[in-house]
Amino acid sequence: MSRVERILVSNDDGINATGLAVLERVARKFSDDVWVIAPEAEQSGAGHSLTITKPLRVRKLADKRYAVDGTPTDCVMMAVNKLMADNKPTLILSGVNRGGNLAEDVTYSGTVSVAMEGTLAGIPSVAFSQCVDLDRSAPWETAETHAPVVLAKLLDAGWPAGVLMNVNFPAMPAAEVKGIKITAQGRREMGSSNVEERIDPRGFRYYWFGLGREIGIPGQESDLNTVQDGCISVTPLHLDLTHHATRAALCEAITCDFCK
């Protein structure tokens, strides 16, 4: 099994999340130098947001273990630029998230954003998520059993700068997982907006956003189909959002000095 010099573990479910403890145990199989720097409270849905309108507070819980009262991105920036600045991590692991991060979820996910920020810092980064059953229970044994295998394979294979890995484990017992597939990011048919209105004890209205997601658009190589079929999905994502085919077409239609 590949050894790693120094690992940072973070998440978006918060410092006390079960999945974070799972991933910390996985990380210790690969390195003797593991740091945990995670949000003080749950930050699910925070995406790649950065706190710039208030100061951040950092609470030291133990040696190499800190809670940050900010977003997942804040945690990585605090680690790389302050807490671990003298000896930066050589690998960043995020998760294990309670619930899948599939298809368009990656644009909302704080879990994936940890890996995004790590990648921007030039550090190989992997996001891990455990899909959940209909009753919302998470089979953590599945992630704990298979994450070391997946991570070892990824480290042996390597991947280019500017690319992060998004790993999703299917919602089933570890022994029933069928294998690993390298997938493309899927896409769901979005349902109607699900905004639930309620009244608080003082008579004021407040609102909850629901997911409002519909079934995924068919595609045999997508992350959605893969976890539904009982396999682990590994999706390489990159941070260049440029649509190069459209750029080339526009260069033909519009005079552009960069296209010459």
Joined together, the tokens standing for residue 161 give 């700068």
Is 223 annotated for ligand binding?
Answer: no
105 is in an annotated binding site: no
Using CA atoms, how far residue 107 sits from 9, 62, 111, 259, in Å, is: 20, 32, 10, 30
Tokens of 207: 């609102």
Alpha-carbon distance of 204 to 196, in angstroms, equals: 14
The Cα–Cα gap between 73 and 87 comes to 19
Q: Report the C-alpha gap between 260 and 251 in whole angstroms.
A: 9
| Amino acid at residue number 146 | H
With b meaning 16 or more CB within 10 Å and e meaning fewer, what string describes 196-224?
A: eeeeeeeeeeeeeeeeeeeebeebeebbb
- 33 annotated binding-site participant: no
CA dist., res. 193 & res. 20, Å (int): 31
Distance between CA atoms of residues 201 and 208, nearest Å:
16
Q: Residue 190 to residues 43, 212, 241: CA-CA distances in angstroms?
A: 23, 7, 21
12 annotated as ligand-binding: yes
For residue 156, the Cα-to-chain-centroid distance in whole angstroms is: 21
Contact 258, 218 (CB under 8 A): no
Binding residues for a divalent metal cation: 12-13, 44, 97
Binding residues: 12-13, 44, 97
